[in-house]
Amino acid sequence: MVHAIARGLLRGFTGTAQTSADTVSLMSWTSRLPRPTRRRVLAASAVVVLLAGLVGWAVWPERASWTAQDEMITVASGPEGNENVTLDARLYLPRDRDGKVPAVLLAHGFGGTKESVSDDAESLAGRGYAVLTYTAEGFGRSGGQIHLNSPDHEIRDAQGLLDWLAARPEIRTDAAGDPRVGVVGGSYGGALALMLAGQDPRVDAIVPSITWNDLTNVFLPQSADTPATGVFKKGWAGVFFGNGGAAPSATQLTGPSAPPTGITVDPACGRFAADVCRAYLDVATSGTPDQATVDLLRRSSPAATLSRIKAPTLLVQGAVDTLFPLSEADANARAIAATGTPVRVAWFTGGHDGGAGPQTDQDRVKFLTAQWLDHYVKGEGKTPSDDFTYSRVAGFSALDRDLVTNGYSDDAYPGLGGTGTTSLSLQGPAQPIANPPNGNPGALSSLPGAGGRLSELLSGVAADIPGQHATFESGPVTKAIDIVGSPTVRLRAASPTGEATLFVKLYDVDQSGAETLSAGLVAPVRLTDLPATLEESEVRTVRLPAIVRQIDAGHSVRVVVATTDQAFLSPVQPATYTVQVGTELLLPTVVGEPIANPQTIWRYVLAGLLAAIVLGLAVVLLVRRRRLRGQHTPTVPEHADTPLVVQGLRKAYGDGFVAVEEISFTVQRGQVVGLLGPNGAGKTTTLRVLMGLTMPTAGEALVFGHKLVPGSPVLSRVGALVEGPGFLPHLTGMENLRAYWQATGRPWEDARFDEALEIAGLGSSVHRRTKKYSHGMRQRLAIAQAMLGLPELLVLDEPTDGLDPPQIAEMRRVLKRYATDGRAVLVSSHLLAEVEQTCTHAVVVNKGRIVASGPVDEIVGDSPSVQLEVSDVPAAERVLGELGVRSVLPDGPSGLIVDMNGTPRSEVVASLVRAGVAVDRVVPRRRLEDAFLALVGENSRGSGDR
């Protein structure tokens, strides 16, 4: 982590040399300082790092030890309470508890088990709670069937678990049979928390997250002010049913999560109860639920019991969630608050499509949860405020290698309408759009579980189908708009069939035309009783899904009305509709106060201390740089137009090891110079000195007449790939290139991104995160980074490492082209054949000294060997063997390499012709490899680079 901070802050003191992101380390920088100064700096750094560690230890929350015991708990279930169901459970207890402790009932998400929430259970047990986790009825090793949180089954089961907790001697109680207990759960478990609190007054506090209010609205959403039945959300409904409906595999039937003995699994319905199975099959087939299905969905929804909840409620909902959007939490919050029960709402940048969200958001949610439970269950701490908190993605943290969010708060929950409104004017005429048969092909806005990440998962796939959508767009906004809530538009539609199913969505469009659909969220609208012409149609208000997004200045907003979406069920019959969106788009806004997450304060403390270290080092380096400038003439005029001059370079270390004895060479404009030598000859050390990554003991390197010292401005004329590529793994290739160029401080137009990307040859992969790159892809991206701005001198260390043969051949052509127009290349490589075909000049180093330098042709020189192209290879081998040549080696299907051992070339050719072997070609042969081995010896090696 120290190195990560150092790289970021010290870059400002290294000029704009295009070195790899992982090239500069803290030690390499301090190695430039005089020995006494270096010792003082490192000693001070060690002390401050130790203090930072102590501060981090001091503020990190202490976690008490805990024990865990698995239990099989039998509870009374069913409408009459006469059905026994056994649940697979685990009780966590604080080891060092002082008397009886409060409890938390922790419920898992749909398709999970008690193991799914083990991390959260351990964390809560570490805070002093007894935590009971369990596998819900119909899953894993628990008995029963899946009833979708039916009050008669899953909720009654949870009441039986409260009875069990109340009977435990370790659990604090408020009265006989009444445990002191909070209920926490996400998704399926979150709805259980709400419904249990509405059904059982013994619950003292609840923290439901990313859950639903009414399943009829979830799976049949309707976003317009119309009484028509909503549009069936087939994608998520299929995932829900698949998680519990499919018959277990052979492994699942025998593994630790296998159903208990005696449970039979219907292949058509899995472990779903018969009424749930029938309801799904009915609505998935017809798209329209009957009354029995509607009743079942509402019976399994918190909406019916919210008015009876007296337990203080912290509602946590994700803004990246196409299953349970923010509107579900909004409905829960309004209904509970109407009863006078304390309610707090927190939105975070995560959800079913965004996982747990960035680390900064996870910390905030965990803090709010602990604060809520500590006060309302444990009875400790001040009463939590009812502030509304929310967040949005702010960027990427190199420290945590994770997305980070900015958190905000407002005095009270504003609902989906925000505390203010910004109106934008939309432009676009009435437009005809076609619905294809069965809605196929369908627009692709989201995939269950992918949501806002769809663009990176399906790069290049068109989201909207031509002819199936109408577009209405605003002009560029003059200042940033912080949308917090549900935008609204007005819509008119006409249909020859009298009905239309439409999907309305809002895109953020940047200056280049790239559009972003926040979290993949879409507003489905089903309209009935439509006229055939638009003039007779009614105006409908459409409320788009609530989002948290900043529209940057210069961006525009695009509203799209489409006829299809793969996440929803579309009409079977083809039809053509006419649609018109009103000219006004209303965007809800909230001006929130920035908040700090108390759980992450230690990160900032530590980061601040480390930043102080690096700042101190930077000051020392700056002073050193100024001293060096004062000691040396800044320019050597006679070399002002020469890309590189190395004079008397020597590098020795304090322990007496000499990596470079004495090296001098020149790289002129238009040259591609290969730096060759065996392992340990001093090549890498030489390149490190050339890039200013280590200081020479003697001698100097001049780049266009400037002596290389830390921070030399002339480094902006140099591009380099030394010691391998280094990129931020959670950024795409393009984002890494842009971030690097921004760090140089040079104008965007000087970067020449198009040329660099053409050189990289990554295609659409440049928009993928680099953590998914192969070694060869990373190497190509690193070469493109080195070539950003088309620097006049390019220094590459093993550029073909990790490339396949076609890529190596392309790199050969690139380097040759690059050296035109007065540019120059210095390349170190162990692939001698590639150097021979690529380089105009070579410098051969052995044991820290140059043993040969000059044009490649001169180094190769004459040869005792020839290459022959003959008509009959076996016959030629027999003839040559009789002549007494030293060796005969095959060279392709019709070629031979012959070491003539002093035999005249004319005699070799004459002997072959007399034997009836036609000789098509004979040329002298001496490869660079031959010359290299002759110069350094086959077994020659240095003492090892440092």
Q: Tell me the residue ranges of DSSP E strands in 95-236.
A: 103-107, 130-134, 173-175, 178-179, 181-186, 205-209
Return the SS3 of 506.
Answer: strand
Check whether domain 634-858 has CATH 3.30.750.24, yes or no: no
How many Å apart are CA 637 and CA 669, to the nearest integer? 16
Residue pair 346/368 in contact (Cβ under 8 Å)? The answer is yes
Instruction: Identify the CA nearest to 358 among candidates 416, 291, 406, 403.
Output: 403
Maximum separation of any 2 CA atoms in the chain, in Å: 116
How many Å apart are CA 248 and CA 63, to the nearest integer? 38
User: Which CA distances in Å does 785 have to 9, 333, 751, 768, 840?
Assistant: 19, 50, 10, 16, 24
Return the SS3 of 846.
Answer: strand
pLDDT digits (tens, 9 = 90+) for 564-618: 999 999 998 999 999 999 999 999 999 988 886 444 444 444 555 555 565 666 5
Q: What is the 3-state secondary structure (H, E, C) of 34-70?
A: CHHHHHHHHHHHHHHHHHHHHHHHHHCCCCCCEEEEE
Helices 753-760 and 733-744: crossing angle in degrees, nearest 10, is: 140
What is the mean predicted confidence (pLDDT) over 635-656?
A: 84
Residue 746: burial class (beta carbons within 10 Å; 0-12, 13-18, 19+): middle
Residue 880 pLDDT > 50: yes
How many Å apart are CA 59 and CA 57, to the nearest integer? 6
Q: Give me the pLDDT at residue 29, please.
A: 31
Residue pair 661/648 in contact (Cβ under 8 Å)? The answer is no
Both structure tokens of 919: 């000789």
Q: Region of 705 please: left (phi>0), alpha (psi -120 to 50) or beta.
A: left
How many Å apart are CA 617 and CA 216, to the nearest integer? 62
Fold agreement (66-216+302-415, 634-858) = yes
Strands of the 865-870 sheet, one edge to the other: 887-890, 895-899, 865-870, 919-925
Q: Give me the pLDDT at residue 831, please.
A: 66
Residue 14 pLDDT > 60: no
CATH number of 862-925: 3.30.70.100
Both structure tokens of 451: 């949501």
What is the mean predicted confidence (pLDDT) over 159-166?
A: 97
Pick the range with the lowest mean pLDDT from 55-64, 272-281, 825-834, 872-881: 55-64
DSSP tag of 182: E
Name residue 560's amino acid: V
Residue pair 399/607 in contact (Cβ under 8 Å)? The answer is yes
Residue spans per domain, the chain: 66-216+302-415, 232-298, 419-590, 634-858, 862-925
Both structure tokens of 478: 């003059």
Contacts of 750 by beta carbon, 8 Å cutoff, 6+ apart = 789
Residue 39 pLDDT > 50: no
How many Å apart are CA 356 and CA 397, to the nearest integer? 17
Cβ neighbours, 10 Å, residue 607:
15
Per-residue confidence band for 551, with pLDDT thresholds at 50, 70 and 90:
very high
Q: What is the DSSP pairing of strand 841-846 with strand 849-855?
A: antiparallel
pLDDT digits (tens, 9 = 90+) for 655-708: 777 888 888 999 999 999 988 877 777 787 888 887 767 788 888 888 888 886
How many Å apart are CA 782 and CA 98, to the nearest integer? 59
How many Å apart are CA 271 and CA 246, to the nearest integer? 8
Return the SS3 of 782.
Answer: helix
How many Å apart are CA 722 and CA 694, to the nearest integer? 12
b/e burial code for range 108-143 (CB count within 10 A of at least 16 → b): bbbbbbbbbbbebbebbbbbbbbbbbbbbbbbbbbb
Per-residue confidence band for 624, with pLDDT thresholds at 50, 70 and 90:
low
**Phi/psi at 70 (5° precision):** -75, 140
How many Å apart are CA 519 and CA 935, to the nearest integer? 63
Residue pair 849/661 in contact (Cβ under 8 Å)? The answer is yes
Q: Give me the pLDDT at residue 202, please.
A: 97
Note if the pTM is more than 0.75: no
Residue pair 49/613 in contact (Cβ under 8 Å)? The answer is yes
Contacts of 214 by beta carbon, 8 Å cutoff, 6+ apart = 297, 298, 301, 302, 303, 328, 331
Helices 601-631 and 2-10: crossing angle in degrees, nearest 10, is: 50
CATH architecture of 419-590: Sandwich (2.60)
Cβ neighbours, 10 Å, residue 251:
9
Residue pair 316/210 in contact (Cβ under 8 Å)? The answer is yes
How many Å apart are CA 90 and CA 73, to the nearest integer? 9
What is the mean predicted confidence (pLDDT) over 422-445?
A: 93
Per-residue confidence band for 61, with pLDDT thresholds at 50, 70 and 90:
very low
Residue 85 pLDDT > 90: yes
Both structure tokens of 899: 């070491």
Per-residue confidence band for 802, with pLDDT thresholds at 50, 70 and 90:
low
What CATH number does domain 66-216+302-415 carry, 3.40.50.2020, 3.40.50.1820, 3.40.50.150, 3.30.300.30? 3.40.50.1820
Pick the range with the lowest mean pLDDT from 245-254, 342-351, 357-366: 245-254
How many Å apart are CA 558 and CA 794, to the nearest integer? 44
How many Å apart are CA 685 and CA 667, to the nearest integer? 18
Q: What is the distance, to the nearest Å, from the Cα of residue 236 to the centroid of all Cα atoms in its chain? A: 24
Residue 225 pLDDT > 70: yes
Residue 824 pLDDT > 80: yes
Residue pair 793/717 in contact (Cβ under 8 Å)? The answer is yes
Contacts of 537 by beta carbon, 8 Å cutoff, 6+ apart = 492, 493, 494, 530, 531
Q: What is the DSSP pairing of strand 865-870 with strand 895-899?
A: antiparallel
What is the mean predicted confidence (pLDDT) over 321-329?
A: 95
Contacts of 103 by beta carbon, 8 Å cutoff, 6+ apart = 129, 130, 131, 132, 165, 171, 172, 179, 180, 181, 182
Residue 930 pLDDT > 50: yes
3-class SS shares of the chain: helix, strand, coil, % to 5: 35, 25, 40
How many Å apart are CA 74 and CA 161, to the nearest integer? 9
Residue 631 pLDDT > 50: no
How many Å apart are CA 685 and CA 524, to the nearest integer? 63
Residue 17 pLDDT > 70: no
